[in-house]
Amino acid sequence: MTTAVYTHPDCSLHEMGSWHPESPERLQAIEDQLIASRIDVFLQRRQAPAAALADIQRVHTNTAIGLVRDNLPQSGGESAYYPLDGDTSLNAHSWQAALHAAGAAIAATDAVLAGEIRNAFCAIRPPGHHARPSMPMGFCLLNNVAIAARHALEVHGLERVAIVDFDVHHGNGTDEAFAAEPRVLMVSFFQHPFYPYSGSSEHRANAVNVPVPAYSDGDTVRTLVTEKWLPALHAQRPQMIFISAGFDAHREDEMGQMGLVEADYAWITEQVMAVADKYAQGRIVSCLEGGYNLSALGRSVVAHLKVLAQLD
């Protein structure tokens, strides 16, 4: 059983200004490291289709969809970017990029549930976990993981789905999308206090969102995974696991102030895989979220994929 990598050329056409850390170079850095590490040949490459409007509407309001779809600036026009908030904007290609990012997560879900592949990593942008049901924000336009998890529930009829989010930021959009959904368990950690300043005070039955202080290292994270995530995951017995795979908690990533290294991402991935193997026939779909130090991002994705594809 293989591991697939989903992506689409349109995901590299969306950009928000040459200064912006959420850049097309992030996907190129991942590609370069997949080749340099020589794991590329063991991965099945798949091109992501575009998501259908109905897929997106399972998570997002028509207002949120319209904010992205209906505000695209003209390519090469006088103003190349349409600002959605202080750090999120659209260019002419953003809607197509967002459709293929969400489409990657959906297609990966279909392929994993069909048994065609064991698991998948979606090398996609724009990222998704800050995108609220009613509003894009925080570099995110559509919530790729939430859309795929809803697809697993509503189209495939799964009854228990888990979302694991190890990005340095709280996945506020995902949290909100499933706040009243008992079939979805969300487990995460996030630097706190830190953007988007949510997640630390809302306690509910189907989420284990663990705030950690700046400068926390891998040992802190491994302890919280062992003590807080794993008991919740074993109690839920998920039939499928989605990962919001952000790599901005890396020690070399200056977006956040945490101290993870590649070995920590590999270890977390091993823990999640063990849960998936026990309850979910190994079914995992992992989607790229943050990660802005290009070298650390590429190396961390390789570490994550080596575990997913059992190449070590």
Residues catalogued as catalytic: 130
Amino acid at 216: S
Binder among 290, 293, 296, 297 for Zn ion (CB under 5 A): 290
Q: Is the Cβ of residue 46 or residue 129 nearer to Zn ion in the bound state?
A: 129
As measured in angstroms, the least distance from the Cβ of 168 to Zn ion is: 5
* Cα 232 from Cα 211, distance rounded (Å): 16
Binding mask 119-158 for Zn ion (x = CB under 5 A): ----------------------------------------
* Cα 20 from Cα 89, distance rounded (Å): 10
8 A C-beta contact, residue 129 and residue 173: yes
> Is residue 22 at the binding interface for Zn ion, with CB under 5 A as the rule?
no
Gyration radius (Cα) of the chain, Å? 18
- Two structure tokens written together for 207: 């989420």
Closest Cα to residue 246, out of 122, 150, 108, 80?
A: 122
> Is residue 192 at the binding interface for Zn ion, with CB under 5 A as the rule?
no
Binder among 10, 22, 167, 175 for Zn ion (CB under 5 A): 167
As measured in angstroms, the least distance from the Cβ of 125 to Zn ion is: 12
Residue number with the shortest CB distance to Zn ion? 290
Cβ neighbours of residue 249 closer than 8 Å, sequence gap 6 or more? 166, 167, 168, 191, 221, 256, 258, 259, 260
> Is residue 199 at the binding interface for Zn ion, with CB under 5 A as the rule?
no
Span of 5-13, 69-77, 162-170, 211-219 interacting with Zn ion by CB under 5 A? 162-170
Q: Is the Cβ of residue 158 or residue 296 nearer to Zn ion in the bound state?
A: 296
Q: Is the Cβ of residue 95 or residue 247 nearer to Zn ion in the bound state?
A: 247
Binding residues for Zn ion, total number by CB under 5 A = 5
* Cα 298 from Cα 283, distance rounded (Å): 23
Phi, psi (5° rounding) for residue 47?
-85, 130
* Cα 92 from Cα 310, distance rounded (Å): 39
DSSP structure class, residue 260: B
Binding mask 201-240 for Zn ion (x = CB under 5 A): ----------------------------------------
Identify the burial level of 219 via C-beta atoms within 10 angstroms of its C-beta, where 0-12 means exposed, 13-18 middle and 19 or more buried. exposed
Q: Is the Cβ of residue 151 or residue 251 nearer to Zn ion in the bound state?
A: 251
> Is residue 248 at the binding interface for Zn ion, with CB under 5 A as the rule?
yes
> Is residue 246 at the binding interface for Zn ion, with CB under 5 A as the rule?
yes
Write out the residues near Zn ion by the rule CB under 5 A. Answer: 167, 169, 246, 248, 290
